[in-house]
């Protein structure tokens, strides 16, 4: 079996679609992913019924879940409907391994989401360091250092 036939069979077996990242990155729906962004293996981006935008020059590590769907209230009998929320991740964002980004999250450009962090409906300002579960946001943590190298920031983040 040639390499391309093997890849087709693998993707069919794991119920995945071909993507520019890795055969073991699951993409659902139509997320917008900027240029020069990488997503590590065993990560999932669920953009079904919502908008997920990941900016340019981001590094999404392995084992990261970006999920716009929340079913917990329905599951425990407190509601009937599924809840969806858009996800917006700015440019030049690093998301560490085993992190979870949930619907409603807005992450400003040049931010770092530390390994194992859970970001819920937070609005994270640009240049922030975000750590833990629940997430602790150190707003502007990298700003002064970045501006000492690049000058004043003129980005257009929605936070």
DSSP for residue 137? E
**Pairing mode, if any, of strands 136-138 and 129-131?**
antiparallel
Q: Where are the domains of the chain?
A: 3-150
Separation CA 56–CA 54 (nearest Å):
7
Locus of tokens 């833990």 = 132
Report pTM: 0.92
- For tokens 């990488």, the residue is 38
pLDDT in tens, 103-148: 999 999 999 999 999 999 999 999 999 999 999 999 999 999 999 9
CATH code for the structural domain at 3-150: 2.160.10.10
């Amino acid at each position: 079996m040639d390499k391309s036939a093997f890849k087709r069979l693998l993707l069919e077996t794991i119920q995945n679609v071909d993507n520019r990242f890795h055969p073991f990155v699951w993409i659902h729906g139509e997320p917008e992913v900027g240029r020069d962004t990488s997503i590590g293996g065993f990560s999932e981006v669920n953009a079904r019924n919502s908008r997920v935008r990941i900016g340019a020059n981001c590094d999404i590590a392995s084992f990261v879940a970006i999920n716009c769907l929340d079913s917990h209230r329905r599951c425990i009998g407190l509601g009937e409907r599924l809840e969806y929320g858009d996800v917006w991740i700015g440019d030049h964002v690093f998301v560490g391994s085993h992190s979870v980004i949930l619907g409603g999250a807005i992450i400003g450009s040049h931010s770092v989401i530390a390994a194992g962090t859970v970001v819920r409906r937070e609005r994270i300002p640009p240049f922030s360091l975000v750590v833990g579960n629940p997430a602790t946001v150190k707003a502007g943590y990298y700003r002064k250092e970045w501006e000492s190298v690049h000058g004043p920031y003129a980005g257009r983040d929605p936070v």
